[in-house]
Each structure stands twice: as structure tokens, then as C-alpha cells.
Amino acid sequence: MHPVDGHGAYHTGHYRDLFAEVGHTPSESRARIDQIFQQLFHGDPATQTVFYEAGRNEQGPLAYVTDIHNNDVRTEGMSYGMMIAVQMDKKAEFDALWNWANTHMLVTDPDDPSVGYFKWSMNRDGTPRSQTPAPDGEEYFVMSLYFAANRWGSSNGLYDYKAQADGLLRLMRHHPVMTRATAKGMRTVGPMVNEQYRMILFVPNSGGDTFTDPSYHLPAFYELWARWGPVEDRAFWQEAAEASRRFFPRTVGAKTGLSPDYANFDGSPRPSFNKFSTDFSYDSWRTASNWSVDYSWWRKDTEERKLSNRIQNFLFGQGVSAFADQYTLGGQPISKRHSTGMVATTAVASLAATDSHAKDFVKNLWNTPTPSGEQRYYDGLLYLMSMLHCSGNFRIWAPKAPLPN
């Protein structure tokens, strides 16, 4: 292996099983994860599942993942569903989700500024709630498609996973800047990245008012795109991984490790349309998981270990089974809810953490039941992905080595 491959799971092939480290066997973890998948994807439609079959078209079966509370279909959930499916070898569910996304969410009008991207929010009948994309959905679409290509092999057309991933990833960087007049004013869409700072944008509006979302930073994925993506963009994604690693310490609270929902490129909190945009809120739950998975897969930046220790130490002081799900960056709670999704992502931070509290967060996740009811969408998807991470079953699916002649 080349030194640029780091010293994590990509290099070693070994993924930590945090549940085994607190006394649960791999078979016990696998049975638990299978049960969670069954509940969230094929459980009771009224109280358990977030995955719904929606007939078929000429491409095959269709299905969507829905946000129960908001009664919409989001690229976030669709791409998370695809990632879960490829990690769990559920090709039928993967293909049905990808088919629905392309049938209903993909912008195909060549004059639409969002052409080639996916509308981030849809009604369950396939009509749009929004005409604009959200880059976190595209990021997970791309990564899940590369994993699908490597795990299952690519087919043709919509199911040529490698070609689909290459095309979308290329567009994310090279989308032309396009403008159209709408009833709400001029809408401009361009690339999903800022070239100068090598960072993902919150929205690809390409105007002067651009900023980022710390939870959209996925250096673990960027490293893979620097190896598997379009050749002309590989250096960019390598630089983006390094930029994200430098960004994380600048954007989190100095004593709490909490990140804001939105941030400027220098890491400072970014006031926006959301009243919690400068605070640790729902998007922010994912940030610690992102840097911790990066450490687990690549081990290129020991600062990520310090950040995981920092956020876990703060939350342990709040009560490992009671901490709030929203805070100021200085650590003042601004909610009274203890959310399963945040319990889950904070446990993933134990992949990088070194303090004694790390096992407490893993145990807390194991003892937390599968979400059901109105909040089962975001909580549930983060919960299942985190269970995969913490059990060592969320893995890099690399291209198969060619057979010898």
C-alpha cells in the first residue's frame, strides 16, 4: 500500500467491532441489525417502516423512503436507504430506490438550472415540493453507487452503477452556472463545491452568498473518490478530504466539540434562514460521526481523536442517557429532547475516541430500542447506519482485483 492510503481500515481491511468490545458477539450484532432492517424497511406501515413500495415501471420496481413527520421524500433519506441496502446486500431495495429517485427526483429539463441534480424534497406521489438539490443527498447517492458497482457489478442504463456515479460526481464539480426566473425570483444553480476552499456547499447557488454545512463534510468518501472517480477530478477530491480535516477543528466548540448546523468556510457559525443555524442542531448530529468514520477508515489525522473525546466528554457530563439534542456551541441546552439519532451518531464517535467514556456511548446505543412512530425516519436511518458502523459492518466495498491471465 502507498503511504497516502493511511493506516485505517482501507489499508488494513480491519474494521473495529465496538459492540464486541463491550461484550456482544458478531452473530448477536448481526441478528440485531437484521431485525432493525426488517422493522425499518418491511415493518408495520403505520408505525414502523420508512420504506414503501410504489409499483413498477419499465425500469423495474419502485420504492421510496419517507420522512414520516414531514410526509415527504428526501434525497437524504433515499440515499441513506441506498447506502444501508448496499451495506446489507439488499440489491432489490437498492434498485427500487434508485429507480424512484431517477423517475421522480431527477431534473431532466435542459433549461432548468438544477438539470442533472435531484430535487431534495418530493411528495409521496412523486410531485415536487422543491426544485432545488441538497448536496448531502448527491454525496450519498454517489458513494452508494460506487459501492454497488464494486459489490454487485454494474449492469446497463440506470443500473450501470459505475457510470451513474461517475456522471453525478463529475456534475457536482462541473455543473454549469444556470439561472432561471421563477415566481419567487431568480434561481441560480451551479457546482456543489467551492473551488477555492475545496469544500462542499450547503446549496449550489453559485452566488456570492455561499457557505457550507459541517455535516456535509465526508472526507472518508472523498478519499475513495480520489481513487475511483473521474480521473480529472481525483486531485480535487484528495484536497477536499484534507480541507475537511482542517475544517473540523475550526468549526466545533472549543470546550464542547459541538458543530453548528451551518458554517462559513473558515469554520465560523453562519447565520441563515434557520433560527438554529449557528447552534448545534439536527444536521449537526452527523458531524462527529463523519470525522470518526474518516479516522476509522484512513487514520490520517489524529486531531479527529481529540474531537471525538471532546464531544463525548461534554455529553457524558450532560448525562449519557439524558443529553439534549440541541445546544449552543458553548454548551447551553436549547431543547429537552433526547434523540435516538444523536445517541447513535455520538456512539460512532467511539471509533476515534480514546477516553474511558467511549464504551458508555456504545453501550447506550446498544440499549436503545429501534425507533418507531412519528420520528422514526431520521432517528431510524441514523440509528441503523450507526449500528452498522459500530459493529464493523459498514465497510468500504472496493473494486474487485482483476483475475490473473
Mean pLDDT in runs of 10 for the chain (405 residues)?
Answer: 81 98 98 98 98 98 98 98 99 99 98 97 97 97 98 98 98 96 85 97 82 98 98 98 98 98 96 83 98 98 98 98 98 98 98 97 98 98 99 97 65
Interatomic CA distance for residues 331 and 342, integer angstroms: 15
- At 276 the pLDDT is 73
Residue found by looking up cell 411528495 in the block:
123
Q: Active-site residue numbers?
A: 76, 283
Per-residue pLDDT at 185 = 79
**Residue 303's pLDDT is what?**
98
Question: pTM of this prediction?
Answer: 0.97
Domains of the chain and CATH, by start:
1-49+214-397 (1.50.10.10), 50-210 (1.50.10.10)
**pLDDT given at position 206:** 67
**Tell me, what's the pLDDT at 33?**
98
Whole-number pLDDT of residue 207: 65
Q: 97 burial class (0-12, 13-18, 19+ CB within 10 angstroms)? A: buried
Q: At what angle do helices 219-228 and 234-251 cross, to 10 degrees?
A: 170
Among the listed residues 379, 364, 399, 86, the one whose alpha carbon sits nearest the alpha carbon of residue 227: 399
Instruction: Say if CB 202 and CB 172 are below 8 A apart.
Output: no
Which pLDDT value is given to residue 182? 79
Q: Work out the number of other CB atoms within 10 angstroms of the CB of residue 205.
A: 17
Helix (H) or strand (E) holding 188: strand 185-189
59, 75 contact by CB (below 8 A): no
pLDDT of the residue at 274: 73
